[in-house]
């Protein structure tokens, strides 16, 4: 239909509001957004629009959404090494998937061992969403150190466990330095204690699956590892689907049952919910289904190859810049770098601010003070330009006392 002048004016205002946003489609943003090209974006947007007002609260009314969810979960289950017993749900994102993993572990501990003061054991590198989930759900979050290589210290995790432990966490990869935790060792502790072990593969679930198919050696990370009870994978990251799409897969339906909530303790009838949301838009579900179907194995192999090669070129390039050091060789497509304090005094936050004036957006994190790059396929053609600017900026800042402002991963406004 042809829109009225008023409608057009409002849409134009909405479009103009985005003129100051980061240029994520142009490969100049190493965080927050992922781009696989205009056609993939169009597939996601149009599928999303078709079902944006459909409601995933009740799939009896919307069997389309049941189809989308079941097929998307089946695709992800295949990626993460699940068998025919595995079962899962779509969620609104990695934070909700993580919250559901904590909730499932708490309920299992409560129902089978009578745990009333539950705790979760997680390395300091595990995502902040675990702290958020534990805070919401009344679970003590016990943070443990990482080793010199930034991977989880398994001995410290084991020592932190007690009779109230309900969950151990590993990441594949962890976000801050981009390395995979020793998942088999973490899962073995959980199996010995008969508690849940969740692998946070929100960042790596798609990439690691396809790196293995490309023939790369990948450390054990998924449901093929004995003792792993659940795993989360975000599709709105390296699945390149619309925002609002993640999946949590449990080893079996019994373990999945601890995630759900069911009640008839009101006058409105039986209420069943798989996650935090009640009403939930069908848009992200439809977009995830459409994009995963459209890309298929060949599409994801190509996108993974481009992202991985770009990440390794970036890591090698940064390692060659006098004054900077890569925190760890990336296991997938995330990397972190900081100042080489043995050679030069450089404030990396000042580096980030100088790069921003050249149109680059990089995450600032710490401790230790570092810059973080989430490399996706859109960066395949911009790595060399980024490295050239980074080299010039670092040279300009070497030996100066310029200081920059630390950044935030998430904001409250």
Segment 175-203, tens digit of pLDDT: 999 999 999 999 999 999 999 999 999 99
Model confidence at 393: pLDDT above 90: yes
Residue 116 has pLDDT above 90, yes or no: yes
CA dihedral (63, 249, 129, 104) in degrees, to 10, reads: 90
| Closest by Cα among 336, 335, 327 to 311 | 335
33-61 per-position pLDDT tens digit: 999 999 999 999 999 999 999 999 998 99
pLDDT in tens, 62-86: 999 999 999 999 999 999 999 999 9
Q: Residues 149-172: pLDDT tens digits?
A: 999 999 999 999 999 999 999 999
Q: How far from each other are the two terminal CA atoms of the chain, in whole angstroms?
A: 37
Fold adopted by 296-397:
3.90.1150
d(CA 387, CA 403): 21
Distance CA 202, CA 110 (A): 27
Q: What is the C-alpha to C-alpha distance for residues 318 and 295, in angstroms, rounded to an integer? A: 31
> What span, in angstroms and rounded, lies between the C-alpha atoms of 45 and 287?
7
The segment(s) of the chain belonging to CATH 3.40.640.10 are 43-293
Pick the CATH number of 43-293 from 3.10.350.10, 2.40.50.100, 3.60.70.12, 3.40.640.10: 3.40.640.10
Q: How far apart are CA 93 and CA 408, in angstroms?
A: 19
Structure tokens at 270: 């039986």
pLDDT of residue 340: 87
pLDDT at 412 over 70: no
């Amino acid at each position: 239909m042809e829109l009225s002048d008023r409608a057009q004016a409002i849409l134009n205002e909405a479009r103009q509001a985005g003129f100051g946003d980061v240029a994520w489609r142009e490969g100049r943003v190493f965080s927050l957004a992922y781009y696989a090209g205009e056609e993939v974006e169009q597939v996601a947007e149009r599928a999303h629009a078709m079902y944006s007002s459909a409601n995933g609260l009740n799939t009896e009314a919307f069997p389309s959404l049941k189809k989308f969810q079941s097929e998307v979960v089946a695709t992800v289950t295949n990626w993460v090494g699940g068998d025919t017993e595995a079962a899962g749900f779509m969620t609104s994102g990695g934070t909700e998937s993580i919250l559901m993993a904590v909730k499932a572990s708490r309920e299992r501990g409560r129902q089978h061992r009578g745990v009333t003061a539950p705790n979760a054991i997680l390395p300091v590198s595990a995502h902040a969403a675990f702290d958020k989930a534990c805070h919401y759900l009344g679970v003590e979050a016990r943070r443990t150190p990482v080793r010199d290589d930034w991977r989880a210290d398994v001995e410290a995790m084991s020592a932190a466990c007690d009779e109230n432990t309900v969950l151990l966490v590993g990441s594949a990869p962890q976000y801050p330095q981009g390395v995979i935790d020793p998942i088999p060792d973490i899962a073995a502790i959980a199996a010995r204690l008969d508690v849940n072990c969740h692998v946070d593969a929100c960042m790596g679930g798609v990439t690691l699956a396809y790196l293995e198919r490309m023939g790369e050696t990948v450390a054990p990370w998924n449901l093929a590892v004995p003792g792993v009870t659940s795993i989360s994978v975000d599709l709105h990251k390296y699945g390149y689907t619309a925002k609002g799409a993640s999946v949590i897969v449990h080893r079996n339906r019994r373990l999945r049952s601890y995630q759900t909530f069911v009640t008839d303790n009101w006058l409105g009838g039986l209420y069943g919910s798989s996650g935090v949301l009640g009403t939930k838009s069908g848009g992200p579900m439809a977009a995830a289904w459409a994009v995963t179907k459209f890309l298929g194995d060949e599409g994801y192999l190509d996108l993974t190859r481009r992202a991985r090669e770009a990440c390794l070129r970036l890591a090698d390039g940064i390692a060659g810049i006098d004054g900077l050091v890569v925190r760890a060789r990336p296991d997938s497509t995330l990397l972190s770098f900081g100042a080489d304090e043995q050679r030069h005094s450089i404030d990396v936050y000042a580096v980030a601010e100088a790069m921003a004036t050249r149109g680059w957006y990089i995450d600032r994190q710490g401790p230790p003070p570092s810059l973080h790059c989430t490399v996706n396929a859109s960066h395949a053609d911009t790595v060399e330009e980024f490295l050239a600017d980074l080299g010039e900026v670092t040279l300009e800042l070497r030996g100066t006392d310029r200081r920059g402002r630390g950044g935030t991963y998430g904001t409250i406004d």
